Chain A
Amino acid sequence: MAERIFSWLIMVCALLVVAALLWVLSDVVLQGAAHFSWQFLFDAPTDAGRGGGIAPILVSTLWLLLIALTVALPLGLGVAIWLSEFASSNSRFANSTGITLDILAGVPSIVYGLFGNAFFSIYLGLGFSLLSGGLTLACMILPVFVRTCEVGLRTVSNDWRRGALALGMTRSTAIWHILLPAARPAIVAGLILSIGRATAETAALLFTSGYVDRMPGSLLDSGRALAVHIYDLAMNVTGGDGAAYASALVLVTLIIVLNTLAQSLVDSWFKRRLVLA
């Protein structure tokens, strides 16, 4: 009897979850598709976003992402390599860097928005611009990216490190040709996580890259991210729901497409070296 009730409860839980999630997903897809047309991607918004499309907003979103990744990826990979391969386990600097990374990985994005506003926009004088927004996003994704890559590198078998050393190879060669390719799954995971977070971010951008929905002329122009656009349409524009849902559909699709792209790019880059069984 207990067994019956237990399985019944479990089924109900699963059913509820599936139903709720499908409800959200189908709403986004159906309502989004209803307002979507290909023209929507290439037009500028009119009437505060109720009409027209999202072309300048897409461009701003991609610029923000590009800036964030260009800054965060090399820095993050470098720090991850340093932490896992060069820093000795009792180095105080390495330990405190690790702890700070852990703390910052959990800091709410709105707090990054505060920091970005104070530091990039005001202190460095970048104002409300794509640059300060992108740099804020870079700060936000850096800790998570470093930690994922570092864990990935640490789980690479020590046999390979020892083998490389015993052959008189430099660590640089071992890292570049063996360890990084072997840590590929973790690097991809970190990249996908970072892209997801940066593309979906709203709160950190409100006070750094701003609201302006014109096509950005330079990186010092303000630009509105897709997520900010959805927020603005839903909250401040009556009758903007249709466009908001269409933008949400585009945003979700964009994230999926970018993730697939990242996955295949990293794979093809490493596949040339790495031949797994």
Chain B
Amino acid sequence: MFNNSINNQADRRLNFLLLIVASATGLLLAIIILFLLNESWPFFANRWRDGTWLQLFYGQSWYPLESQFGMAPMILSSLAVTVGAVVLALPLGLGSAIYLQFYASPRWAQSFRLLLNVLAGIPSVVFGLWGLTRLVPLITSWQPPGASLLAAILVLTLMILPTIALTSASALASVPRELLAGSMALGLRRNSQILHIFLPAARSGISSGVLLATARALGETLAVLMVAGNVVQNPSGLFEPVRVLTANIALEMAYAMGDHRASLFASGLLLTMLVWLLSWFAHRVVRAHKQALQYG
């Protein structure tokens, strides 16, 4: 609304001040991106000519001290852990959201919501601690060594469950009430109402919540590091230990030098790119849905 046309000294001064603040922030944002590029540059520069920089994406062996920088197992593990967590958390979270929105009595719903809110605020390292001291021994007693892909998936599932349940519940809650009245008038059963009317109508809210949770799972470092076993290998079974990209950075940054260090920055860039792709996708989903509402 305010748009252009500043007509007095006070506003000119504030505008100037804010412009400085915004420029400083813009500069900071640019510095973040430039530094990530700059620090990973040596890695690419040394391998650009012979094309071995692509090894980063498909190379199988990660022996940084012998200049073998293959991240494929870790990339695959990251994806496996993330996909596993989302596949588990999505139905559970969505089911809880439906329960919260349509089945629970008001008092129950309130306590459930409180529980979800508290757990959404619990630091990931606490989930990691719990996974390490509770879950891993449990899995060990069944299928050693315990610290495994499965443990990582379960811990991440718990971590993103509250987020998915809460965002889905609020997406369901924002479905216009007229739809409900309409479906009641048609005499639809409750399950058909939910499946055929509410879920489709809340689709964009739910999917953007899920995509954000996916980004969180992909970017999570310590909770996964603490329970996944951290052996660099392709994720071949649920009970095999794996190492994900983020954990690799955390484990090796302390002593990495030269190209090794640069390769860690390169994997940071790769992660950023993946998350970027996801959030771009989330934007697209929300926008497409808005347009469908406008013209549909």
Interface positions of A (Cβ within 8 A of B)? 2-3, 6-7, 9-14, 16-18, 20-25, 27-28, 74-76, 78-79, 81-83, 85-89, 93-94, 96-97, 100-115, 117-119, 123, 139, 142-143, 146, 158, 161-162, 165, 170-173, 175, 196, 199-203, 206-207, 227, 230-231, 234-235, 241, 244-245, 248, 251-252, 255-256, 259
Contacts and interface: CB of A to CB of B under 8 A. Distances in A.
Given A108-B221, A170-B10, A24 B158 contact: yes
B253 interface: yes
Given A88-B4, A97-B22, A231 B125 contact: yes
Contact of B246 (A110, A231, A256): A110
B191 A109 contact: no
Contacts of B8: 170
13 contacts: A7-B191, A10-B99, A13-B98, A21-B115, A82-B21, A106-B215, A108-B272, A110-B271, A119-B35, A161-B1, A202-B124, A235-B226, A248-B125
B285 interface: no
Interface residues of B, number: 91
Given A202-B124, A230-B123, 7 more contacts: A10-B103, A28-B122, A78-B25, A88-B3, A108-B221, A114-B268, A115-B32
A17 B161 contact: yes
A22 B96 CA distance: 14
Contacts, number: 265
Interface of B: 1-4, 6, 8, 10-11, 13-15, 17-19, 21-22, 24-26, 28-33, 35-36, 38-39, 91-96, 98-100, 103-104, 112, 115-116, 118-119, 121-130, 132-134, 158, 161-162, 165, 189-191, 194-195, 212, 215, 218-222, 225-226, 246, 249-250, 253-254, 264-265, 268, 271-272, 275-276, 278-279, 283
Nearest to B111: A18
A78 B22 contact: yes
Contact of B31 (A74, A81, A119, A175): A119
